Each structure stands twice: as structure tokens, then as C-alpha cells.
Chain A
């Protein structure tokens, strides 16, 4: 029983990080209908920004931790806007395939730039928040980092929901995702809304990067690839384009990965996660919470 509960704690804290990344994939898909494969590299840059910002604060408290987190989120928001402006905007009216290939190109560019700038060796990550292990009844142990991950994720998910559902920019995002032409006809500045979406998604990825590095304190420029792919699977599982779906999918993937990892089949944990992607595409192409759209011809 203890083992089962402990695995749930592990799975939820892993799923929370996937959720932050998956939301970025799903938001960009919602407004632009393409998968931004460079997103997992924004996640990596977020972790590295935190690494360098942490050097400014020799003594870690909760306040400095939050400053580092906010700083990295700002850096990545700017990076996300720049990527969109330089790489995707000039191709806005081309076919989605062109943009998709460009996204893969940007992803490789950032990976290799990361190896050149940060160096390809794994770096030990500083503990940005004060660390402590908390023992719960039944021999359950939860680390302060896992609590930080869960709290930050829940707060950010709530903030995101508020922005998308309650603010005028959120309404504009939703309008754009329904119909970009009609949105611009009623006076929405599509370019600004798209930039804002990239900024928001990239900031969440940065938060994900820092939280990932806090829990698994060894970072390198290729660290984004696998978590990024799994978050993408999570977004598809939940129904790509659907925000609660992405969060739900991420928690499911986190739990599955943890339970498979703790079983006799630990060798196959990644294989099982990606098999799920194939099964969803076969039986429920719209994902758990997504709705089927009929293609207009």
C-alpha cells in the first residue's frame, strides 16, 4: 500500500511537469494548427536560465526561488516570441508542413546552439528552493521539491485558465482558434494574439524546465527531447488544442510512466508511453477530451 501511494506521489509530480510543457504544445496548436517542436528546447533554455540566474543568489530562500522562476519565465517568453517572429511568422500563409519542418529545424538549431553556448556536459543543478524531506504516515515520503512542483503547477494552471476564460486577450485567443479570418474582421490583432500565445506557452515551459531540474538535478542541452516528446504525447492523449485535456493527459502519462517504471517491465517504460500514442491515434484520434472536427472541403 505504501509503495502504491508513494508511486502516486512520484507520478503526480512527474505528470505536473509534463502538464506545464503539454499546455504550450496545445495552446500553439489551438491558435495556429501546428505542432511547435521547438517547444522542448524552450523547456531546456528555461532550465539553463534558472541555472545561471541562481548564481546571482548565493543563499536560497523561497523568495529568491520565486524570483529565479519568474526571471526564467520572462526570458523564455521573450525567446518564444522571437522564435515565432523570426521563424514562423514569415511562413504564416504557407502549408502547415513547411512550418512543421521549420519547427524541427528551430529545435535542432536551439539544441546545437545550446551545446555551443552552455557546453555539452551535464551540469549539476543548484537547489533553488530550500530542500527538506517530509515524512507522512504509512512511511510515505514527499520531498519539498515535489510539493513545490505540485503547488507551482496548480497555481499556473489556475492562472492560465483565468487568462484564457476571463480576460479579453483570452477571449481573443479563443476567437482566433475558432476562426482567424473572422477574428481579424472583428478587430482582433492576430499577430499580437499569436505572439502572446507563444509568450504564455514558453513561460510555462520555462517553469516546467526549472521544476524538472529541481527534481532531477542534472541538466544538459539535450535534456528537452524526451520530456518534450512525452508532453506532446500527453497533449495528444488529452485532445490536442484542449487545455484541460492536456493537463489530464500529462497526469495520466506521468502516472503510467511511474507505475511501469516500478514494475518488472521498467525497461519498456518509454516504449509503453509511445505505444499509448499509437493506440490513441488508432482508436480515439481526437483524444480523451478533444472533439472531432469535420474537414470543410
Chain B
């Protein structure tokens, strides 16, 4: 009897192995085109990863429903980096060497795009970042693209906004030294603001995952600024706004696209009155592309309204599909050239890749009223 069991086990194991190896071989020349997506689906920037992934998944579903590209369906492989440093590089290496993806999509946070970029460049696999704004991301090499604006543009528009709309002459900065995004954006805000006659009255720092900002905010309060610039991510920005109001700081606080996430409102709630941030997209614009995207997104995700990360995630897949069609092949250098000449209109408006592999776009400024995000105005590049 024992022997018989052994035979069954051996047979099952062997057939599993054969089946698995069959699948492995099938990947290279099967009926799908593999695309890797790495995203922060959990952890401190989970709102970014979730939104971006939902947008990308929606676009891939629509593309496949319309017959796919090059006669094949796109197979989106998504992996979670838990918002942790170090994971993205491992994931992208696995995408390229084991899954043999034709292109990589990701990430939102510039720090993690900067981790994966050099690996994609090394293997010459095109990478499209939907929403990393730090200029260094695409400077990694000619295979790295982005489809959003960059921080020098965002910093300039925040400086103009602080000066013209908020009428602020004295601004304090509270930035995250552990995030390349925040370090970059605070610098790109400071330069045009000071050049236009503004004054930085306090320059305080924190590190990602800090929770106590009262020390820095008390020092900022003593400097008596007209407004406070917080160029960080929403997890910390929410706590900063809350603690600022607890310390009796009533001046406006503002930041960049890192603020975009429902968790900002969940954490800070009513303290967000008189706060502002710039981002890539607003769902209430009434261009046909925006409305088509918003309707499809709400239909797929139980009426949830898409944010900027969702729209850029969606557009990143559209850009890739369009480039695959124009290249007529999945061969990496031809695909790269096709992405470099992208000029399409998607949910976030026109995406035209420039010679630095960036896509200059309009920005929007959002404010928060009664625990809801509210569109304030457009800013053209």
C-alpha cells in the first residue's frame, strides 16, 4: 500500500513539474504580451499604489476588450513593494529575468522609481513612470520615461500660487529628508519663490514615518510665517496639518501631488480647511476624455471617483499600448523609439513626450472643503 501511495505522489509531482515548465516556455511566444507593474499596494503610500493600479488595470481591460495589441492580449503582472525601500529593485529584476516582460510600468513615489530605473536601463527594457515628478527619474537613462510634469514646474507653480493667490511673503518649509521627492520639490519651490522676492523664514526637516511634528511646528510658529509649504506625502502631511492646527497655527498649508490620497482627509479631517495642493488631474473637468474615463472607472470600482494617480496609471497603459501598436513589435529598442515619439490624448490631457523623456502637462490646484477635495484652478505649463 505504501508503495502505491508513493507512485501516486510521484506521478502528481512529475505532472505538476511538466505542466509548470510547459507554462514557463509558453510565456515567451504565447498569445500574450507581458507587462510588469510594480506598485505600493500596501504600506504608507498605499493610496498611491491602489489608485494607480486601478487605473492601469482598467486601461489594460479596455485594451484587451478591444482586441489587444499586435493581435495579442496584454498580460499585466502586478507586484506589491509594500511602500518599502529595496523591494522595487528586486521586483523589477524578477519581471525582466524571469517573466520576460516587454516593458515596466511604475511607480508613483520618485524614490522607488529611482530604485527600479537603473535596472530597467541596464537590461534595456522601457520603463514608464505614471507619476514620479523628481527630474532625476528620467535622467537615469534613455529607456526611462514619465507621463507627468516634473518638480521644477510644480515647484514654480507652487511658488507663484503662494505669492499671488495666498499673498504670502514669508513662508516656512517642512520637508521630508528621507524622500527624494520631498527634498527635490522643496528646492524647486524655494528657488523661484526667493527669486521673486519671497522669504523663507524657517526650514525644518522630518523623516518618513515620523509621527511627532510638534517640535518643528512650534519652531515654525515662532518664525511667524504667512504660509507653510509641506512638500511631502499624505501620511505625514495629514499629521502635520492636524498638529499645526492643534498648536494654534491658522495660516494656510500647501504641498504638491504627494498630498493626493483619501487618507489625508481620514487623518486630518476638518483641520484641512485652508490647505491646498497641486496635482495632475481633477475628475470634475468636462473634456470628453476625462468624463469617459471617470464613467468607466466608476462603473468598474463601485462608484469610486478616480484621483490623479488613477488617471496617470490609466494613461501610462494607454501610452504603452499606443507605442506597441506603432512599433509593430515588442523588440525593446523599437518599442523605446516608439514611446519616445508618443503624442496621444488621455484622461490627463495631451501626453507628448519631449526630448528629456518627460511630458509637460497642465496642473490643477485642489483645496479641501468640508472633508471633500475641491478643484480650485488650472495652471498651464
Instruction: Show the binding face of A for B, using Cβ within 8 Å.
Output: 2-3, 6-7, 10-11, 14, 115, 119-122, 124, 133, 135, 139, 141, 143, 145, 212, 215-218, 220, 222-223, 226, 257-263, 266-267, 269-270
Contact = CB atoms under 8 A, between A and B. Distances in A.
B215 A10 contact: yes
Chain B interface secondary structure, helix, strand, loop or mixed?
Answer: helix
A144 to B, nearest CB: 10
A121 B204 CA distance: 26
A14 B43 CA distance: 25
B28 interface: no
Max chain A C-beta neighbours (<10 A), residue from B219, B242, B243: B219
B242 A120 contact: no
B221 interface: yes
A124 B267 contact: yes
Nearest to A124: B266
Given A122-B235, A216-B212, A218-B238, A6 B266 contact: no
B327 interface: no
Given A124-B266, A133-B248, 18 more contacts: A2-B222, A3-B218, A14-B214, A120-B46, A120-B82, A122-B46, A124-B238, A212-B211, A215-B212, A216-B239, A220-B43, A220-B44, A258-B215, A261-B212, A262-B219, A266-B215, A266-B216, A267-B205
28 contacts: A2-B222, A3-B218, A11-B215, A14-B214, A120-B42, A120-B43, A122-B235, A122-B263, A124-B238, A124-B267, A133-B246, A133-B248, A139-B248, A143-B246, A212-B211, A215-B212, A216-B243, A218-B211, A258-B215, A261-B216, A262-B204, A262-B215, A262-B219, A263-B219, A266-B204, A266-B205, A266-B206, A267-B205
Contacts of B177: 267
Contacts, number: 92
Given A218-B211, A257-B215, A141 B247 contact: yes
A258 B267 contact: no
A7 B218 contact: yes
B248 A141 contact: yes
Given A216-B239, A266-B206, A270-B207, A121 B46 contact: yes
Contacts of B235: 122, 218
A215 B217 CA distance: 14
Interface residues of B, number: 31
B319 to A, nearest CB: 29
Given A143-B246, A266-B205, A266-B206, A217 B219 contact: no
Contacts of B216: 261-262, 266
Contacts of A220: 43-44
Interface in B188-208: 204-207
B209 interface: yes
Contact of B242 (A11, A217, A226, A258): A217
Given A121-B43, A266-B205, A266-B215, A6 B247 contact: yes
Contact of B239 (A217, A223, A269): A217
Given A3-B222, A133-B248, A267-B205, A122 B212 contact: no
Contacts of B221: 3, 6
A261 B220 CA distance: 11
Nearest to A6: B218
